[in-house]
Amino acid sequence: MQVAIIGITGYAGSTLYELLKKHSQVNQINLYGHNLSKPTQLNQINDEFSYDQHLVFPYDENAIIKDNDAVFFATPAGVTSKMAKPFIKAGFPVIDLSGDYRLKDPDEYVKWYQKEPAELSDLQKAQYCLADIDDSEGAKYIANPGCYATAVLLGLAPVVKEDLIDLDSIVIDAKSGLSGAGKSLSDSSHFVMANENLQVYKPHEHKHIPEIVQKLQVWNKNVQNIEFMTTLVPLNKGIMCTMFVKLKSNIEMDKVQHAFDSLYANSKFVHVSMDELPTIKSVVGTNECHVGLSFNSSNNSLMIVSVIDNMIKGAAGQAIQNFNHLFDFEETDGLELMHVLP
């Protein structure tokens, strides 16, 4: 089949392009740029592909629908809310890596993204698909989860879905490598600031907060809010979310273990350990999420550590996983990857 990628200059779009080349069911990848006025060689607009002369075409929804079987949007926030309507109207399969269709409440989108939202009728047609839990088969517009949201939700899902914790006790310490900030330069991503340094950023203001809360409320309507802090760390890639929750007084650890084992028993990509805590190094370069648990009996609290590669599991890899579900392909197709060594 043929697929289109809109947005190839950022890290997520570049990663998506590389992964789709490995997909057994994809025989052609057509690239489009939403800011291009004429066909341009990829190596002229993205230095990551110095020798790749693949043509990138100006955005044209009619050509995309005519020549492709599905389209991936790997564009900044605010783009798909304007460009996706023709695809939604046509019932054409879309997988959106941006945040434009993740939040069901347009007012929440304006509050957290400070951009004009998509139309409510279109938001209602979008399906938020956390690929290791949700089934995207039959969906036409898939809102791919954000990177932090993916790591947090995969870590919290078993205890929230099974109502094992005090829901007002959720505290999340999230750390991300520099690629999570995107390619645009800023003071915080400048080498002399990022190297040998940790930087807390957007305390209580990160745009993945409402996305996380919205999904937690789907699983348990009694969730009200979370404490969520983000830190930029001097790594190229990777996310580690350390989550602290209080178990309900009548809950023993065997119930917790059973909840994790039951939810992820057949998962190809989520691996849970009760014996050791995961490291970022173990998942970079893969579509895996590793989760570790540690119980503090003195105060009945549970620490959940979840790690992912933010560009693969947190973006492009999960998009392909959703794509595989959508078209009933083998879930691991295009995602049989090995973590980076050493």
Instruction: Point out the catalytic residue in the list 129, 147, 241, 289.
Output: 147
Q: Which pLDDT score, from 0 to 100, does residue 325 have?
A: 96
Q: Which domains does the chain have, with CATH numbers?
A: 2-125 (3.40.50.720), 148-309 (3.30.360.10)
Q: Which pLDDT score, from 0 to 100, does residue 183 have?
A: 66
Q: Return the number of other C-beta atoms located less than 10 Å from residue 332's C-beta.
A: 14
Residues of the chain with pLDDT under 50: none
Alpha helix (H) ranges present in 57-146?
Answer: 61-67, 80-83, 85-90, 106-113, 120-125
Q: Which pLDDT score, from 0 to 100, does residue 191 have?
A: 84
Task: State both tokens at 165.
Answer: 């914790």
Residue 37, burial from CB neighbour count under 10 angstroms (0-12, 13-18, 19+): exposed
Global pTM reads 0.96
Q: Are strands 28-33 and 55-58 parallel, antiparallel or unpaired?
A: parallel
Give dist(CA 246, CA 114) in Å, integer: 34
Give dist(CA 211, CA 234) in Å, integer: 26
pLDDT digits (tens, 9 = 90+) for 291-320: 999 999 999 999 999 999 999 999 999 999
Give dist(CA 42, CA 215) in Å, integer: 37
Q: List residues bridging with 239 in a β-sheet.
A: 176, 308
Q: Is residue 129 flagged as an active site residue? A: no
Q: Which pLDDT score, from 0 to 100, does residue 262 have?
A: 97
Identify the DSSP state of 315: I
